[in-house]
Amino acid sequence: MKSTTLRRSNITREKVAMMEALSRYNREHQDEDFYRRQTKNRELDALWQNFGVKQQRTEKAPQVYFVIGLITGVIVTLLITTFVSILINISAPKEDAVPKSKPVAAENAKFRFIPADASKPSAAESVTKEEYTVKEGDTLESIVIRFYGSFDMDKVNLIQEANKMSNPNALSIGQKLIIPINKG
């Protein structure tokens, strides 16, 4: 340092020399401290490994629990659905177990179609009567179409008169109806 600077700062030459010596010492021994610290860290690492501390388990994320729950729910739903469908199939009556109806005579199995314009039988035509048992879902209109081929209100009235019915909608399953058929 220049002497003018030293005078202004009130620092003596001895103090400046001492500061320079201290800075040289720090530079020289700085490497030794670094290696001393490194050796100490290695010793601590070795002690820590010998101590045998096991790593702690990390907790699973909430997404893992969600996915596991979702998969479990799907599997349980499939199992319940399969179980219920098996129970329904076991409890449902088989077609073989249901008694079959008697075979219909070949004459009754044929549909007889009479033209719609022949609404009333003439003297030359003879009238026969067939018996029909009402089944589930039958209406008087469907019975007329079955036996006469088309719907005609006169045919409905003819069946009502032959069976002495006051209400054409009052049919019951198993009821026997007389169906007048015209033959010519």
Indicate the domain borders of the chain: 3-51, 106-183
- Asked if residues 113 and 162 have their Cβ atoms less than 8 Å apart, the reply is no
- What are 36-93's pLDDT values in tens digits? 666 667 776 766 666 655 566 677 788 989 999 999 999 999 999 999 999 888 876 6
Q: Decide: 144 and 151 in contact? Cβ < 8 Å.
A: yes
Average pLDDT, the chain: 76
Residue pLDDT, tens place only, 101-128: 555 555 555 666 666 555 554 554 567 8
Range in 106-115, 122-131, 153-162, 173-182 the model is least confident about: 106-115
Domain 106-183 in this protein, CATH class: alpha beta
Do 147 and 130 form a contact (C-beta atoms < 8 A)?
Answer: yes
Environment class of 155 (CB within 10 Å of its CB; exposed 0-12, middle 13-18, buried 19+): buried
pLDDT reported for residue 73:
96
Type of residue found at 72 = T
Mean pLDDT in residue range 96-100:
51
Query: Which residues, at least 6 apart from 144, have a Cβ–Cβ distance to it below 8 Å?
Result: 151, 152, 155, 156, 159
Distance, in Å, from the CA atom of 152 to the CA atom of 146, rounded to the nearest integer, reads 12
**88 Cβ neighbours under 8 A, 6+ residues apart:** none
pLDDT band at 18 (very low <50, low <70, confident <90, very high): confident
Question: What is the model's pLDDT at position 124?
Answer: 47
- Strand runs (DSSP E) across 37-140, as ranges? 126-133
Does residue 178 register a pLDDT over 70? yes
Q: pLDDT above 90 covers what percent of the chain?
A: 11
33 and 27 Cβ atoms separated by less than 8 Å:
no
pLDDT at 6: 53
**Radius of gyration (Cα) for the chain, nearest Å?**
56
pLDDT reported for residue 83: 93
pTM: 0.33
Angle at 41 between CA 39 and CA 47, to 5 degrees: 105
